[in-house]
Structure 1
Amino acid sequence: MQREKFGSRLGFILISAGCAIGLGNVWRFPYITGQYGGAAFVLMYLVFLFILGLPIMVMEFAVGRGSQSSIARAFNRLEPPATHWHKYKWLGIGGCYLLMMFYTTVAGWMLAYVPKFASGTFAGADTAQTAEAFNNMLASPVELVFWMVVVCAVSILVCSLGVQKGVERITKVMMVALLAILGVLVVRSLTLPGAEAGAAFYLLPDFSKIFGSFDAFCEAAYAAMGQAFFTLSIGMGSMTIFGSYIGKDRSLLGEAATIGVLDTSVALATGLIIFPACFAFGVAPDSGPGLVFITLPSVFQQMWGGQLWGTLFFVFMSFAALSTVIAVFEGILRFAMDEWGWSRKKAVVVNLIAIPLLSLPCALGFNLLSGVVMPGVGDIQTIEDFLVSSNIMPLGSLVFVLFCTSRRGWGWKNFLAEANAGKGAKYPAWLYGWMHYGVPVLVAVILVMGWLPIIQSWF
């Protein structure tokens, strides 16, 4: 069977960007930027994105394109005889399933807020009332399960149509709509009375916020490193599949850089919606994860036409979430097709049943299963997020880095030949030392720092 391909380079870029552009950009990035002082944190984040995130993304693309396979067969085809790199595929696909087990529920929150805003549920609501509405939603197992199933059904239906007719065509439309809505909301937020203070907080660096003490610097650096690392969805094989769908006419560094710029631009632009609006209406910009579901709804209600702006904002958030879900679902389906020779139809049917069932614990973890907690971590959603973000993604990225730099793996020369095939920016050969020694150290820091507070809480 001939392998499916993207219909265009734009399709590859938008779909890969769609996988990267998710709730980490439009939910996590703004509130941690608020927590760590605004623009100074953004600059630190950009440094780590450049020296850590993008180089690993190129490696994942190269493994996919070089093998013409998802992680199901990628390492099998590229590894030297008698080595065992291919065993990582089970951790990688496990990470994709685990990610979907909580991401579909959170994506469902975004979808649920579109009709809530459009119908005027939050009309005249203050922060206490929006907090009550959010908590009521979490307390309803029927509502959470319903929206989670909608996310699963829509996303798998898109993937069932194939790479070009489904994933590429529909994701391109969603991404263009996402960028258009984002532009409209940025203009609206920046034209609010008093928005200048929020823009200054976000765009003018105040280094005293992160260099005030050694502890403050370490905390901010770890947050920036983690955000730069996780925002690109690297380490689980999600990007490997898209690498396998593209030709060799363009070098991979330039493609990864384009995706990274698009991904980062959306994250930065989301801040230009949130911070000017918060400052315009006297709301603290460091209000944590509740910023999107509790703080912003009350802010939108204070604007002229707030019902419209709030609805558009959650349509934008929904597109960002769905683009990631569709991309990861495609990787899951392709794994089954490559590993077991399933047809796309069989893979769709099996996963249309399996993923909603696997996602039930998270959806019920805010209500019926709220008593299930892990000491030092939290509820079911937080446990699943921790396992993916602080464990599988770093470990997976370490596997890709060592595989592409080690003589007992694919090797540096083979990786460079694949990454640099085609027109465009070339991956510098002199980066070998940094990638083979420096990057593993940073990844190890992410792993250790993720576990340290948890272990400390146990003693």
Structure 2
Amino acid sequence: MRTTFSRTGHILASAGAAIGVANLVIFPYRVHYFGAGAYVLAFVAFTLLMGVPMMILENAMGKRSGKNPIDAFQSNPGDHPAWAWVGWLGMLTSIMVASFYLVLAGWTLDYIWQYVANYGELAAGPAGPAFGAVTGTIPRALLFTGLFTLLTAWISSRKLLAGVERLSKFGMPLLGLLILFLIISLPILKPEAVDYGNLLRFDWAALLVPTETGELGLLHALGQAFFSLGLGAVGMMTYATHIPRETNVLKNAPRIVHLDTLVAMMGAILVVPLLGGIRGDIYNGPPLVFINLVEIFKTYGAAGQFVGLAFFLLLGTAILTSAVSLLEPPLRTFVTQYGKKRSTTGLLIGLATFLLTIPVVLSCSADGPQWLQNFAGMGPQLGYFNFLLEWFGSVFLLVGALLLCAYLLRRWTLSGFFEELTLGGHSLLPARRRYLTFAYRWIIPVGIVTLLIAKIWTLL
């Protein structure tokens, strides 16, 4: 019986891990604000220059280890035990990202329920107070977060082929069909609500000139290339531990990146034209979805229930495939490192993650403790949520990616890495070898350090 991913299963599972809120919410918002087509071109360039090489590296390290992220950093004779902490850092990052990601998933599940069973009340009032009720009612938020976490843990706890691969082979085509349905149906149902000119413009000043708050669109495009792919949190590495050693990651890794980029583009095609018609405030982050888009869907009349439901099913599917991947690194480690059963361990990790979601839920409610609402001065509300988003969803991802490059150059060596890539008779063209060498030595470290300095400067 097969115990490893099929080639298609691995590509779809890894793409599902990458595709999520960054593609469907953050990317469209940044396209809208930072130059539309100009931002898209910069994002694609950075993805090809840095995202693809990093995806190749994570996949190669995972398949070489065949066990877990800890062993991946102890694969060379003489590796200092301290290198294992890079794997532990990646696992910590995964779990902490999951702790706020699953709260967002709970909100999404709540809206799916409202569109199915309570649409009349949702459509009757303004979207802002409705979203406030979703986030502010603590028992309600914990209920939907718990239900989504239970589903995620159940899928994770099953055998690889029955859980992760089956979800990917079902979820990814469903995601594609839902986003295509929305892209096609929204302009047909209400042409005046869709402004494609907002997407097709090329505003280079918006990309290259800092905003009044000091934000630079070009740096956001660079960061998007890392964050959209989930690089640095050892999730891609962990999925690659489930593939045979002879797998050609030189082909598979770019396909994962291309799928993720394709969905990001489709997300922009879907959302950015809708934002062009908004006359009021356009919010960043979750309120963009739960306030701005909900208000837009209501203008579609009776059809608004169906397009809104389709959108939140789309978002929920993307979050689910990502959430499962976030639980996989610690799950894989406990199974291979400590000999624990996958079924029991998956549910226990799900329970532990749910406990970590509780302070996140409390920080999003006016009834929660003030110190959580304004955690680390990142309030006045959602302080702890924002802290996790910025530090674990951004800074520690970059630190993990930088340490991964350091391990490659200091311990594994490029010659050993290239030997792994060509294992099984796969060819590596000299020009590609030279570019990968230059990317790992210079382009990627310089890009990451630049992002880290800019990010930490804004946070401190």
TM-score by length of 1: 0.91
| Aligned residues with identical type, % of pairs | 25
Deviations 1:328-376 (A, max 9, x none): 2122211111222212133124213211112211011112134422345
Q: 2:416 aligns with which of 401, 414, 422?
A: 414
Kept in 2: contact 1:68–1:245 (CA 8 A) = yes
Gaps of 5+ in 2: none
Gaps of 5+ in 1: none
How much does 1:217 deviate?
9.8
SS of equivalent to 2:231: coil
Amino acid at match of 2:391: L
- After superposition, residues 113-192 of structure 1 pair within 5 angstroms as 113-121=111-119, 125=123, 129-191=126-188, 192=190
SS of equivalent to 2:229: coil
Amino acid at match of 1:155: T
Number of the residue aligned with 1:438? 443
1:403 aligns with 2:407: yes
Out of 443-452 and 15-24, give the one that drifted further: 443-452
What is the root-mean-square deviation in Å for CA atoms of aligned residues?
A: 2.4
1:374 aligns with 2:375: yes
- After superposition, residues 19-98 of structure 1 pair within 5 angstroms as 19-78=17-76, 80-82=78-80, 84-98=82-96
Separation (CA, whole Å) in 2 of partners of 1:366 and 1:340? 36
Number of the residue aligned with 1:288? 284
Number of the residue aligned with 2:105? 107
Separation (CA, whole Å) in 2 of partners of 1:33 and 1:149? 33
Separation (CA, whole Å) in 2 of partners of 1:124 and 1:67? 50
Out of 46-55 and 344-353, give the one that drifted further: 344-353
SS of equivalent to 1:84: helix
SS of equivalent to 2:305: helix
How much does 1:245 deviate?
1.1
1:393 aligns with 2:403: no
Number of the residue aligned with 2:456? 451
Segments of 4+ moved more than 6 angstroms: 213-218
Out of 75-84 and 335-344, give the one that drifted further: 75-84
1:339 aligns with 2:337: yes
Change (3 A) 1:195 1:252: farther
Out of 338-347 and 17-26, give the one that drifted further: 338-347
Q: 1:17 aligns with which of 15, 18, 34?
A: 15
Amino acid at match of 2:386: T
Number of the residue aligned with 2:4? 5
Separation (CA, whole Å) in 2 of partners of 1:340 and 1:16? 25
Change (3 A) 1:68 1:333: same
How much does 1:327 deviate?
1.4
Kept in 1: contact 2:34–2:203 (CA 8 A) = no
How much does 1:210 deviate?
2.3
Kept in 1: contact 2:64–2:245 (CA 8 A) = no
Amino acid at match of 2:375: M
Out of 391-400 and 210-219, give the one that drifted further: 210-219
Amino acid at match of 1:5: T
How much does 1:438 deviate?
2.5
SS of equivalent to 1:434: helix
Q: 1:261 aligns with which of 249, 258, 262?
A: 258
TM-score by length of 2: 0.91
Change (3 A) 1:131 1:122: farther
Change (3 A) 1:331 1:375: closer
Kept in 2: contact 1:118–1:311 (CA 8 A) = yes
Separation (CA, whole Å) in 2 of partners of 1:361 and 1:79? 42
Separation (CA, whole Å) in 1 of partners of 2:85 and 2:205? 46
Kept in 1: contact 2:90–2:232 (CA 8 A) = yes
Amino acid at match of 2:34: Y
Kept in 2: contact 1:63–1:240 (CA 8 A) = yes
- After superposition, residues 218-367 of structure 1 pair within 5 angstroms as 219-279=216-276, 281-283=277-279, 286-289=282-285, 290-304=287-301, 305-367=303-365
Kept in 2: contact 1:69–1:338 (CA 8 A) = yes
Deviations 1:195-215 (A, max 9, x none): 66x323213322232245698
Query: How many residues matched?
Result: 448
Number of the residue aligned with 2:205? 208
1:383 aligns with 2:384: no
Separation (CA, whole Å) in 1 of partners of 2:347 and 2:293? 38
